[in-house]
Chains A and B, each alone.
Chain A
Amino acid sequence: MYAGYDMQAVDAKSVRELRFEIEEFHTEYCNMLDRGALDQWVDFFAEDSLYRITARENADAGLRVGLVYAEGRGMIRDRAFAIMHTQMFAPRYMQHFTSNVQVISVEGPDLGLGDGSLIKAQSNYLLLQTLVDGPTTIHQSGRYYDTFVREKGRLLIRERQCIYDTVLIANDLVYPV
């Protein structure tokens, strides 16, 4: 449980539709990351957004530090550029798997289907990493706590908290989650 993401009463019918939409969002988002198309990463975010990856011990204790901490699309774009063009690290492949999508709350017009709606959801994720000279390993087991905003009919990330249980990281985390 992450602060601000308490389960609310939600309309059952619209939730089914929203859950499917969020699953599609995850699929596109993860495909983009797993293909390494980081230049498109920023397209999944609203202008005024917060992205954070942090260990579960920090989340549980209400500590605000981020392994990655980005306020706004500019910081998202800068990190993508750095990873693609300036950072030194060993080659690797990543695969994301998401599941257990649960809609937590819906705010706004047309039960979340109208523009300006805010939809909160949580999902489990599994991040596999394959160093090209090593085995495929579970790099992170974690959970997304997302707030989506609907703009022009499309969901965008207003807030994404990636909370990982794998507190002791195997060396480092290069690519976004």
Chain B
Amino acid sequence: MFSANTVIGQTGSFAKEKPREEGHEFKWPAEGLTTVPDWIYTSPEIYEREVERIFHGRTWNFVALEAEIPNPGDYKRSFVGPTPVVVSRNTDGTVHVFENRCAHRGVEFCRQPLGNAKEFVCPYHSWSYDLVGNLQGIPFKRGVKGEGGGMPKDFKNADHNLTKLKVTVLHGVVFASFAEDMEPIEAYLSPEILKDFNVVFKDRKLKILGYYRNELPGNWKLYHENLKDPYHATLLHSFLVTFGLMVAGSKNGMIADPKGRHGTLASAKPDNVATALDDEVKKEMRAYREDFKLADGRFLDYVREFDSPWSVTMQTIWPNFIVQRELNTLGIRHIVPNGPHSQIMLWTMFGYDTDDEEMTRHRLRQGNLMGPSGFLGLEDNEAIKFLQEGVRRSPSERGVLKLGGTSTGSTNSVIDEAAIRGMYAYYREEMGL
């Protein structure tokens, strides 16, 4: 069921989801970062401010992988925040991003998820644009002979190009920004985050394995929280816990950048989880299932293909990008915020061009962990949906983030919410809250 199908408490019907009275000032609770007010997940004004200040503000937004558009003329229909854009490769090989909105009447002209074109032509009145978004042709620009009409004499094509975004490419990953004066992407990511980003992308040629797309009926920030929340990973996900992919008591880390906006949730898988965990730890984890044995254990094999101490790194890159390295299943998730109570999640799964047939099949088998039917993925989608329903429908107004005290940023313990607090410290600054 899509969020638009909600019957009990239709989305937008609760007081918390409605615009506040004129002049209302949103105030973060006095307790600070150990308390999260529900209105950051439900308020339409807060959502609008997020689009303006975050997605359209000083951020690098993921838009595409270069492997999706390898050849001149290749394009991808994408999004920056909720805003439709086109990512296009020009004849000279450079990558360009512009709004998917005809400069004439506003038609979202590009409809194919991926394709190849010599030019972009708006289907409504045939205005045409080149591969970098410059207006090329307008039919009957000078009118029809004998009948007049047409554009005024002072009309200049150059004044009516598509709205272009700033673009940067790092190791095959394409980012775009509405801001003119963004710092270089390496500085934006920070050395702390760049390290594990490079493990996946640097000096690698990706081979796209395919796509998943889903609507997740929860606020977009909840997905960032989920991956800055190692606590849940050890409690919700039977697969992680039972097979030792991430358990309390083994080697884990939650690495944040100095600003607190990005994160890497990292874990090193013990060889044998049954012996690595003491009984006290097992008792705390209800999801641990001693009786659960796989009939086909191949799909949890770990081929050590990376120079990294971690077998798992889940990176949250502010504001719309997730990099998944879960053993050998690799992918990215592109978050498209869709109002306060919904997000569209676009997943691209990949391997490397050096993979042989068996490695490709290993990644395909292991892919069962993630995605909207993944053993882990579907549990996250359910939990986030439940959370959104809880904050929407309940008159209570606060969530609690007290694990690990009041600290913010990186931690070694998984029983800690410091990375979520760190993200909200940054968020409050950006949002003026």
Interface residues of A (CB under 8 A from B): 53-55, 57-58, 61, 63-75, 77-79, 81-82, 85-90, 129, 131, 133-135, 137, 167-174
Contacts and interface: CB of A to CB of B under 8 A. Distances in A.
B216 A171 contact: yes
Given A53-B373, A77-B295, A137-B1, A87 B238 contact: yes
Nearest to A137: B1
Nearest to A68: B373
A69 B364 contact: yes
Given A57-B113, A88-B379, A71 B208 contact: no
Nearest to A67: B373
11 contacts: A68-B368, A78-B296, A82-B239, A86-B238, A88-B379, A88-B383, A90-B386, A134-B7, A170-B5, A171-B215, A172-B382
B236 A88 contact: yes
Contacts of B373: 53, 67-68, 172-174
Contacts of A90: 382, 385-386
A87 B379 contact: yes
A134 B5 contact: yes
Interface residues of B, number: 49
A25 to B, nearest CB: 23
A174 B378 contact: yes
Given A131-B1, A172-B214, 4 more contacts: A65-B209, A67-B371, A81-B295, A168-B215
B214 A168 contact: yes
Contact of A169 (B213, B294, B295): B213
A137 B3 CA distance: 12
B211 A88 contact: no
A27 B214 CA distance: 29
Given A65-B210, A69-B367, A169 B215 contact: yes
Nearest to B213: A168
B360 interface: yes
Contacts of A79: 368
Contacts of B383: 88
B299 interface: yes
A82 B287 CA distance: 12
B177 to A, nearest CB: 26
B274 to A, nearest CB: 16
Given A57-B113, A65-B211, A168-B213, A74 B296 contact: yes
B64 interface: no
Contacts of A131: 1
Interface of B: 1-2, 5-8, 113-114, 208-217, 236, 238-239, 242, 287, 289, 292, 294-296, 299, 344, 349, 360-361, 364-365, 367-368, 371-373, 375, 377-379, 381-383, 385-386
A58 B347 CA distance: 12
A101 B115 CA distance: 33
Given A64-B209, A135-B7, A87 B365 contact: no
A14 B180 CA distance: 69
Contacts of A171: 1-2, 214-217, 372, 381-382, 385
A57 B236 CA distance: 31
Contacts of B379: 87-89
A65 B216 CA distance: 20
A89 B242 contact: no
A13 B294 CA distance: 44
Nearest to A168: B213
B331 to A, nearest CB: 9
Contacts of B208: 63
Nearest to A77: B295
Nearest to B237: A88
B74 to A, nearest CB: 13
Report which residue of B367, B373, B381 has the largest number of chain A beta carbons within 10 angstroms of its beta carbon.
Answer: B373
A86 B289 contact: yes
Contacts of B238: 82, 86-88
Nearest to B113: A57
B299 A66 contact: no
Nearest to B385: A171
B382 A88 contact: yes
B58 to A, nearest CB: 30
Contacts of A89: 378-379, 382
B214 A58 contact: no
Contacts of A53: 373
Contacts of A71: 296, 361, 365
Nearest to B383: A88
A65 B365 contact: no
A65 to B, nearest CB: 3
A65 B289 contact: no
A133 B8 contact: yes
B211 A57 contact: yes
A17 B214 CA distance: 40
A89 B349 CA distance: 24
A138 to B, nearest CB: 10
A69 B236 contact: no
A119 B317 CA distance: 48
Nearest to A54: B210
B385 A168 contact: no
Given A68-B373, A87-B378, A87-B379, A170 B212 contact: no
A86 B367 contact: no
Given A54-B210, A78-B294, A172-B214, A64 B364 contact: yes
Contacts of A65: 209-212, 349, 364, 367
